[in-house]
Amino acid sequence: MDVRKTLVLVFVLIYSLLLPQIGFAAIEDEQWPTPNEYGLGHHSVLIRNADASTVYSKLTTQYEKGTFLCKSANDEHCGKGWYLDYNAVFPVCENSLQVNCIESLSAINEKGDVSPAKFEEYTYKNHPNMYQGDTNLGVPIAGSPSIWKIPGAPHAGGIEYAIVAGLDGLYHKTDPNYRFEDFYLYLSPVSRKSGIWAGTDINGFENYSKCIQKLSASGDGYLACGGGAQEFGVFNCAVKTDQNGDCYLQRPFPADIRYGIKVRLAKEPISWLHGRLLNPIIQISKLATGGVELSVEAGSLKVPIFYSGGNYSSLDTNLKEYWDKCLAARSCGYSTRIAGSDFHNQPDGNLRNVQDYAEPYGDRAINLIQTFSKSAGDKSVAVPSFWNLRSLTREEMSKANGCFNEGPGVKGIVTTNSTAYSEGPPTFKDGQLNYKVASAHSNPDGSDFKGTYNLVIRSDVARCLYKFSAAPLYASIEVVSDNGQSLVATTVFGERNGWVQLAAYNFGFSAPTLRVRLSQEAEASAASLPMPTPSALTKPALRPVTITCVKGKTLKKVQAVKPKCPTGYKKK
């Protein structure tokens, strides 16, 4: 496989708690606070876009004496450990030979003007879990989230942006073939908020997250990992600092700005990538000094937050039954603000407090939206903007088709703006690639939420699925509602540079399935086929275009492959 390639993805309150502390004239969707409902009887479910799960570097191991934090791959604990388990947040590249680092950040406006960013500082100056990497063992150098300034791309909170990029990996010493790494890349506009809380709580945690080494009475090691939650129910931090309890608040992305990030990796990510990106252009190219450069350019994407909550006594009968059954069967997760409680074994709903924070992917998340849609008014509570990309985990890939798992390198990329989405890549069944998404039907203001789906598959992987020859591919794309009806959508297909590109835009919700079927002329070899004539199927996928329409003093932006102004509006 040629490691130099270009993947082009084309696609078109309920709370104001302590709002004055945030200091915004009106609450931003990015600052919709996770509800802090700790009263007995309250039951809620929350599904929101997953943030970077661990925003600090750490290295741990395990052996017969327990689990331990390490300062290096060969210290007193990791030297004895069975494996090396690391989360390596990337530092900024300091020289041309360095890999597993951030090379650059830039912003691109509608005119194509590029504004380079300047690295400002790391959020952690002295994080207690920092470790010394060992490139000979494949343990990356540890860094911290980085703050950058882009004067040419101001947002509501200023010109600062946070990047959290890195690798979450594990290397088993006794089995060198047992190694995995998950890549992640998160960008967020931010503004600094000072003095959330500078103290240490009774468990030894400051405002920021960290792991604390613990020892049992017998000397066995175990870890306590966590952090303060002073923003809980009040505001949202994109990243925190170890300085005076400060944090960087998550702020909205400015409209019509694209962002480009380049990172250097010791090796190309394996398997599939999932993103919250608008019209991304992704390039993976081999470096002369070893490793690869991953370049991502894309716009941000708005992703709805789904929330439903209320006291048990006021819930509909079907929701009471749902909570009673799922808690007893331990089929639903929960987090509680009441220490020492075991609500799985509490039959009286009025004596429980349940806050179910579901991952946004998989059948459970999709089913939760369908179950609680009515109680939520079939509306999302906020629609914040995001810009991120990550590898699908081993668990997410565990049920994937063999063609999606075999061999090196990235096999494909899937992106959607839906609240919930299928676990792993699309499933291949009966000749179709199926992918399910779910969101509330409406935005908070009552307008219809419209979905976006983009699928890019390496051409050789697509041919592996269908046992096709090298002949040109064709595709049909269908969006089917949860009751089996075909939904109106704009669809795009193209095969170019060794990649099959498919997209669907502007479809409605609540839980549609996107179906893709590939085909090619039967019994024909690539050599015997004539050159295809230009058509919608053989042209490169088209980018949606944004136009501004005006009606009196009212402006409306319309985005589509061939946009038209609504009735009564004229193109500006």
Strands 101-108 and 114-116, by their bridges, are antiparallel
DSSP structural state of residue 239: E
Strands 58-63 and 83-89, by their bridges, are antiparallel
| Locus of tokens 């690295």 | 119
Q: Which residues contact 522 (CB under 8 A, 6 or more apart)?
A: none
3-state secondary structure of 162: strand
Which residue(s) pair with 171 in the sheet?
A: 84, 179
pLDDT of residue 550: 65
pLDDT of residue 499: 86
Residue ranges of the chain with per-residue pLDDT less than 70? 1-26, 52-53, 336-340, 521-570
Q: How many degrees, rounded to 5, is the angle at CA 158 between CA 232 and CA 297?
A: 90
Tokens representing 6 are: 């270009």
pLDDT of residue 520: 84
pLDDT of residue 19: 34
pLDDT of residue 164: 97
455 class by beta-carbon count within 10 Å (0-12 exposed, 13-18 middle, 19+ buried): buried
Q: What is the CA radius of gyration of the chain?
A: 24
**Nearest CA-CA partner of 28 in 277, 302, 294, 438:** 302
Q: Which domains, and CATH codes, for the chain?
A: 5-12+389-540 (2.60.40), 19-44+308-372 (no CATH), 58-267 (no CATH), 542-572 (no CATH)
pTM here is: 0.84
Give CA torsion, residues 564, 566, 571, 572, to 10 deg. -130
- Residues 474-525 pLDDT 10s: 898 999 998 888 888 888 888 888 888 898 989 999 899 999 999 986 533 3
Do residues 221 and 68 make contact, with C-beta atoms less than 8 angstroms apart?
Answer: yes
pLDDT of residue 135: 85
CA distance 359 to 51: 10
pLDDT of residue 528: 30
Region label for 309, one of left (φ > 0), alpha (ψ between -120 and 50) or beta (otherwise): beta
| Locus of tokens 């909550």 | 309
pLDDT of residue 9: 32
How many contiguous H segments (helices) and E segments (strands) does the chain have? 6, 35
98 class by beta-carbon count within 10 Å (0-12 exposed, 13-18 middle, 19+ buried): middle
Do residues 190 and 147 make contact, with C-beta atoms less than 8 angstroms apart?
Answer: yes
CA distance 235 to 242: 18
pLDDT of residue 521: 63
Do residues 125 and 143 make contact, with C-beta atoms less than 8 angstroms apart?
Answer: no
Which residue(s) pair with 168 in the sheet?
A: 87, 182
Count how many Cα atoms sit within 13 Å of the Cα of residue 451 in the half-sphere of its side chain: 32
Tokens representing 463 are: 């041919």
CA distance 163 to 181: 19
Quick one: which H or E segment has residue 463? helix 459-466
Give the sign of the dihedral formed by CA 77, CA 79, CA 82, CA 86. positive
567 class by beta-carbon count within 10 Å (0-12 exposed, 13-18 middle, 19+ buried): exposed
pLDDT of residue 551: 65
Do residues 469 and 524 make contact, with C-beta atoms less than 8 angstroms apart?
Answer: yes
Tokens representing 58 are: 């750490």
Give the sign of the dihedral formed by CA 380, CA 381, CA 383, CA 389. negative
Quick one: which H or E segment has residue 22? helix 19-22
pLDDT of residue 556: 58
CA distance 414 to 301: 14
